[in-house]
Amino acid sequence: MPTQNNLQEKILRTAVARSQMPGQYTGSEWNMVRKDPGSVAARICLAFPDTYSLGMSFNGYQILYGLLNERDDIYAERAFAPWTDMHAAMRDEGLPLCSLETFTPISEFDVVGFSLQYEMTFTNVLDMLELGGIPLLAADRDKDAPLIIAGGPCALNPEPMADFIDIFILGEAEERLPEFMDHVIELKDKGLTREELITELAARVPNTYAPSLYDVVWNDDGTLKSLAPKASVADRIPAQITQAVVADLETAYLPTRPIVPFNEIVHDRINIEIMRGCWRGCRYCHAGMTRRPVRYRSVETILKNAEAQYAATGYSQIALTSLSTSDYPDIHRLVRELVEQFKDRRVSISLPSLRVNDQLGDLPAMLSGMKKSTLTIAPEAATERLRRVINKDILDEDLFNGVRAAYEQGWNGVKLYFMAGLPTETDEDLIGIAKLAEKVSHLRREVTKGAGKVNMSVAGFVPKPHTPFQRAAMATKERLEQIHPLLRQQIRTRAVSLNVHRADRSFLEGVFARGDRRLGKLILKAHELGCRFDAWDETFNFTKWEAAFEATGIDGTFYANRARADDELLPWSHISAGVSHDFLAREAARSQEGEFTPDCRDGKCQACGVEVCKETPKAPAS
Ligand code: SF4
């Protein structure tokens, strides 16, 4: 058995010799937390099943890392999925997947926690377990194996990963993970069997779900008949599991010393989450429905955190993040004061998620004089009719005013996000996307010379659990494949560039988003056939996935393209994400009628069922 120093040396040598970006495998970055592993009561490896570059850009990952490491009795370390070059090299050399902090194999941790941000990382979870020397199936692990836990948006329909994960933590992990670790510390040396330990944790810690403790029964037509706790534990664990929610964002943990990578990463900047949740009620939006209610940080807290993060990192860009930054109630004051605070330090302010609203037109002027980062706007649908179906209450005029103002302040172009394959969509709606993009490009001629550069990204719509479209049929792969040629034909200017997401990957995402635990064998087969990094064009191989469907006899269209009847029990019916089934059904019916539901600001509550809403402050503290 190699010693840790040995392992570190071998991994570093291998990374330098065989990987294109060795800096992502070395650890020791600025602000990395160093502790003596022998001095802590429990060790957790925060495992991100995608590249280092994406994982390190993800705010939630930095939050958990900083929050857990504030405690003296816990050491939180990091591991990422090695890219193909390093993966092959590690296999050749027989090197296990290790943490970046201490080069400890992940099999030696008390807990390995995966962040499931999107469905296309599922095979990477298996790959990381395998590379770490941990049995893939939860049922095959003995008491020496670490507890394998998972959280993130995909955990709100945990069933496709039920075979591989011991315990899911549902909802906002910073609210529950420290408490979970307290119980791990208390129980880990009590001589419990693995099953006893998992049962004890699932019984003690709210918002946790251990799939092995629940029985599943199917109807003859393949739909779900029941999913309920096993008789032996039914009096100890909940039949309905709720998700964790941070009630007050103002007092919640905010990183002050994020790790600064050696390599360039996707979001190489200070990220400050200014607001969580969204009022708007877009019917397709998983985050908008499951991250309710809206919670804020005060302008003062954000300014103070910006200063602290700047001092600890030296970054030259600050991003104000949230689902909808332009909806932050005090956005004018916030941007003004932030610009003032950093104007002499060549630090730019970026607002990555702008929604079209009446504030949009004012924002570019407030950022004038700063370095220009990309203006990104997500109209999602181009026609008024389709916007009513999806409850996207935006006006073209507000969009045009915002873009015009941006051109006036020196922006050369914008990025526009749309979805295709939305319920009731026609070719006319798609043609509308091309027309809208062209109009946005032409607007620049009204204020200066030349057309604006528009990068247009069109994603296939995937119905998600816990949204009003959770029972809707997804557009078929064949329909999604028509989108690119149709849009291409309509765009008559070189100023508009088009990126349409792959139809086969959207289909796969649709299979897993609303899948059940029978898909475990599909994921396992795909892993055995070599599928990994399925979210990446360079590595995605749909032919292998087709072979996996064939080998397992699973019909993907049953999951992706089938409308669910109102009374069908859904594989995530035992999980409550806050919004009630009544509200979702009501919204689905209003969608059919093309009726808008107003957003719930200013006391216009739509009775969505989110209990914790009563406890949360309704405006940023000042
Ligand atoms: S309970 Fe009412 S105010 Fe709160 S998020 Fe739901 S609809 Fe909005």
Q: How far is the CA of 146 from the centre of ligand 1 (A)?
A: 39
Q: How far is the CA of 613 from the centre of ligand 1 (A)?
A: 6
pLDDT bin (cut points 50, 70, 90) of residue 372 is low
pLDDT bin (cut points 50, 70, 90) of residue 361 is low
Residue 267 has a pLDDT of 83
Rounded to an integer, what distance in angstroms lies between the CA atom of residue 14 and that of residue 110?
27
Residue 409 has a pLDDT of 81
Model confidence pLDDT, tens digit, residues 535-584: 999 999 999 999 999 999 999 999 999 999 999 999 999 999 999 999 99
pLDDT at 1 over 60: no
477-490 vs 427-442: helix axis angle to the nearest 10?
A: 40
pLDDT bin (cut points 50, 70, 90) of residue 154 is very high
Model confidence pLDDT, tens digit, residues 333-346: 999 999 999 989 98
Q: How far is the CA of 601 from the centre of ligand 1 (A)?
A: 8
Ligand 1 pocket: which of 276, 282, 579, 600 to mutate (most atoms <8 Å of CB)?
600
Model confidence pLDDT, tens digit, residues 93-112: 999 999 999 999 999 999 99
Work out the percent of the chain whose per-residue pLDDT is above 90: 80
Q: Which atom of ligand 1 is nearest to the CA of 604?
A: 3
Model confidence pLDDT, tens digit, residues 38-89: 999 999 999 999 999 999 999 999 999 999 999 999 999 999 999 999 999 9
Q: Cis link prior to 293 (omega < 30° from 0)?
A: yes
Q: How far is the CA of 53 from the centre of ligand 1 (A)?
A: 36
In sequence order, which residues have a C-beta less than 8 Å from that of residue 363 and are 6 or more positions away?
326, 331, 335, 351, 354, 402, 405
Mean pLDDT of 472-488: 94
Rounded to an integer, what distance in angstroms lies between the CA atom of residue 419 and that of residue 500?
9
CA distances in angstroms from 268 to 45, 54, 277, 445, 513, listed in the order given: 23, 10, 24, 33, 29
Rounded to an integer, what distance in angstroms lies between the CA atom of residue 496 and that of residue 481?
20
pLDDT at 170 over 60: yes
Neighbours of 360 (CB within 10 A): 24
Residue 357 has a pLDDT of 64
Residue with tokens 């700063």: 370
Which amino acid belongs to residue 428?
E
Ligand 1 pocket: which of 576, 613, 615, 618 to mutate (most atoms <8 Å of CB)?
613
Ligand 1 pocket, CB under 6 A: 292-293, 600, 605-608, 610, 613
Residue 373 has a pLDDT of 58
Which residue has the CA at smallest separation from atom 4 of ligand 1? 613
* Burial class of residue 492, CB neighbours in 10 A (0-12, 13-18, 19+): exposed
Q: What is the mean pLDDT of the chain?
A: 93
Biggest distance spanned by C-alpha atoms of the chain: 74
Q: Which atom of ligand 1 is nearest to the CA of 605?
A: 2
Ligand 1 pocket: which of 590, 605, 611, 618 to mutate (most atoms <8 Å of CB)?
605
* Burial class of residue 1, CB neighbours in 10 A (0-12, 13-18, 19+): exposed
Which residue has the CA at smallest separation from atom 6 of ligand 1? 608
Is 524 or 612 the better-scoring residue by pLDDT?
Answer: 524
Model confidence pLDDT, tens digit, residues 389-412: 999 988 888 889 888 888 888 888
pLDDT at 352 over 80: no
Tokens of 612: 């914790």
Q: How far is the CA of 614 from the centre of ligand 1 (A)?
A: 8
Model confidence pLDDT, tens digit, residues 416-473: 999 999 999 999 999 999 999 999 999 999 988 889 899 999 999 999 999 999 999 9
Q: Which atom of ligand 1 is nearest to the CA of 279?
A: 8
Rounded to an integer, what distance in angstroms lies between the CA atom of residue 26 and that of residue 205?
35
Nearest to 278 by CA among 378, 185, 181, 345: 378
pLDDT bin (cut points 50, 70, 90) of residue 601 is confident
520-528 vs 542-552: helix axis angle to the nearest 10?
A: 130
Helix (H, G, I), strand (E, B) or coil at 434: helix
Q: How far is the CA of 455 from the centre of ligand 1 (A)?
A: 34
pLDDT at 619 over 90: no
Q: Which atom of ligand 1 is nearest to the CA of 608?
A: 6
CA distances in angstroms from 121 to 138, 154, 250, listed in the order given: 18, 10, 32
Q: How far is the CA of 610 from the centre of ligand 1 (A)?
A: 6
Rounded to an integer, what distance in angstroms lies between the CA atom of residue 512 and that of residue 535?
13
3-state secondary structure 263-323: CCCCCCCEEEECEECCCCCCCCCHHHHHCCCCEECCHHHHHHHHHHHHHHHCCCEEEEECC
Is 31 or 354 the better-scoring residue by pLDDT?
Answer: 31
Q: How far is the CA of 397 from the centre of ligand 1 (A)?
A: 28
Residue 294 has a pLDDT of 92
Rounded to an integer, what distance in angstroms lies between the CA atom of residue 232 and that of residue 236?
9
Q: Which atom of ligand 1 is nearest to the CA of 277?
A: 5
Q: How far is the CA of 539 from the centre of ligand 1 (A)?
A: 42
Q: How far is the CA of 278 from the centre of ligand 1 (A)?
A: 10
Cα dihedral 300, 304, 307, 308 in deg (nearest 10): -160
Rounded to an integer, what distance in angstroms lies between the CA atom of residue 445 and that of residue 439?
10
Residue 402 has a pLDDT of 84
Which residue has the CA at smallest separation from atom 8 of ligand 1? 600
Q: How far is the CA of 465 from the centre of ligand 1 (A)?
A: 19
Task: Provide the 8-state DSSP code for 374.
Answer: P
pLDDT at 374 over 70: no
Task: Provide the 8-state DSSP code for 541.
Answer: -
Model confidence pLDDT, tens digit, residues 287-300: 999 999 999 999 99
- Transcribe 157-177 into DSSP letters: S-GGGTTT-SEEE-B-HHHHH
Q: Which atom of ligand 1 is nearest to the CA of 603?
A: 3
pLDDT bin (cut points 50, 70, 90) of residue 353 is low
Which amino acid belongs to residue 275?
M
CA atoms within 13 A on the CB side of 360: 26
Work out the percent of the chain whose per-residue pLDDT is above 70: 95
Say if residues 263 and 52 touch (Cβ distance below 8 Å).
yes
Alpha helices in 443-541 (DSSP H): 444-447, 477-490, 503-513, 520-528
Model confidence pLDDT, tens digit, residues 173-199: 999 999 999 999 999 999 999 999 999
